Amino acid sequence: MKIMVTGGAGFIGSHTVDALIARGDEVLIVDNLVTGQREFINPAADFREMDIRDAALRELAKEEGVEGVIHLAAQIDVRKSVADPIFDAQSNILGSLNVIEAALAAGARRFVFASTGGAIYGDTDERPTPETALCQPCSPYGITKFSIEKYLYYYQVQHGLSYAVNRYANVYGPRQNPHGEAGVVAIFAQRMLRGEPLAINGDGTQTRDYVFVGDVVRANLAALDADYIGVCNIGTAVESDVNRIFHLINDALEAGREETHGPVKPGEQKTSCVDWRLASKLMGWKPQVSLDEGIRQTAHWFRDQHQ
């Protein structure tokens, strides 16, 4: 298939492109390189440096005969979305609508959208949280992702667009940048390696569901190949607190850092953990990489980059 991957030079996107090419798909990468990195671009892919808001995207997708879309490009910094909700909406709502319109123009048979399980449910006592739970995002970032889920439903009803939404938990792994929902992993690794000051926000008991990027890539390809319409959580159903993440990275890097704590980040979500059983039912997916093994691989990748 000819697959367009938006954000294909980024963290999750570049791994997804690598997997698509490894199995024999043709890939068109669309990335503006604001957070993506040129060195992550697979040389076997067709790369176009373009913003997803560019009207020329529709003609490009049509000319290239795009058959499927994996839409990963986004403004991913939750704190930036709080500081500038208008910019966040321009990138994540208007940009995503342009990508959907491009898929329609090309006659694409399948559209996979990267949404958020970490920010869309908000703090809830129902954990692991199923897809049927009330969505009450407490950041503009989460709101934009939820909005596009609803737009995709509209496009399916009105235009017959076949789509799948993957609500990611907190994704971490090699090539990670510090701006996403699991940015703490990259931040801790980088600061330990550089010998920089490092403090855990608050008491460190805030929990997240950390899912390894390799597992997320498998979910992207499984969603692309499947034919169901709807939403699936992609996570591990396991809560891990920030203190544990600190110690796993500290041990993997043999950094010898002491645990220290700083002020609480105002408005920070306290808990997040998603139920992945629907993904298993609909597309045969389940998480495979343990947190200990995933953190080890990630920490060693950062160490290799630092040398």
**Which residues are known to be catalytic?**
141
Cβ atoms 27, 15 nearer than 8 A: no
DSSP state of 94: I
Helices 140-159/95-106 angle, 10° precision: 20
Which residues are CB-contacts of 34 (< 8 A; sequence separation ≥ 6)?
A: none
Cβ atoms 40, 9 nearer than 8 A: yes
* E-state strands within the chain: 2-6, 26-31, 46-49, 68-71, 110-116, 163-168, 170-172, 200-201, 207-208, 210-212, 230-234, 240-241, 261-262
Please calculate the CA angle 176-179-183 and round it to the nearest 5 degrees.
Answer: 60
Which residues are CB-contacts of 168 (< 8 A; sequence separation ≥ 6)?
A: 12, 114, 115, 116, 117, 118, 181, 211, 216, 234, 235
